Amino acid sequence: MRITTTRFGRIDVDGSDIITFHSGLPGLEGCREWALLADSSNDALGWLQCTTRGDVALAVVSPRRFVPDYSVRIPRSELTPLAIDDLREAQVVVVVGRTGKKLTLNLKAPIVINLEARTGRQVVASGDLPLQFVLCSEQPPLKKSA
């Protein structure tokens, strides 16, 4: 499949790179099919590119690489639609945002991907986690949930 994107120009994606989000994502409910792409200029970064809207893409990272003490608890009911019993079977990524000049990570709503089934879902993690965790070179310890 060839898709035309605003960020990466025209790209060819294999069916095996496409992940289906059956419920879309909050705010982007119409975007159900996304291609998971590696950023060739940055090995810490990936992009979820919507296959139907070339202007919609989300930068994603593995949270543990940036926030080593991030331990995510997700209600089981959030995982059953993905046919995942245990988070260890899944790939968990978080969305990169920006506030002012600082990059942020959405630790409250990670994206869980069942790589085998190629399905994904943005879930709401339990506990008091920030939607905009500011990344800086000196990481403060992650606030523990109450």
Partner 1 sequence: MLVLSRQRDESIMIGDNIVITIVDIRGDKVRLGINAPSEIPVHRQEVYEAIQRENLRASRLAPSDTQGIGRLANRGTSNGQPTPPASRGIEPR
Query: What span, in angstroms and rounded, lies between the C-alpha atoms of 79 and 107?
Result: 17
- Smallest separation, CB 54 to partner 1 (Å): 12
Site string for partner 1, 4-23 (x = CB under 8 A): ---xxx-x-xx-xx----xx
First and final C-alpha spacing in the chain: 46
- Binds partner 1 (CB under 8 A): choice among 33, 54, 66, 89: 66
Burial 91-112 (b: 16+ CB within 10 A, else e): bbbbbbbeeeeebbbbbbebbb
Is 1 an interacting residue with respect to partner 1 (CB under 8 A)?
Answer: no
Query: What span, in angstroms and rounded, lies between the C-alpha atoms of 135 and 144?
Result: 17
- Smallest separation, CB 144 to partner 1 (Å): 18
Is the C-alpha dihedral spanning 46, 96, 10, 121 positive or negative? positive
Binding site for partner 1 (CB under 8 A): 7-9, 11, 13-14, 16-17, 22-23, 25-28, 35-47, 49, 56-62, 64-68, 77-78, 80-81, 91, 93, 95-98, 103, 106, 108-109, 113, 115, 122, 124, 131-132, 135-137, 139
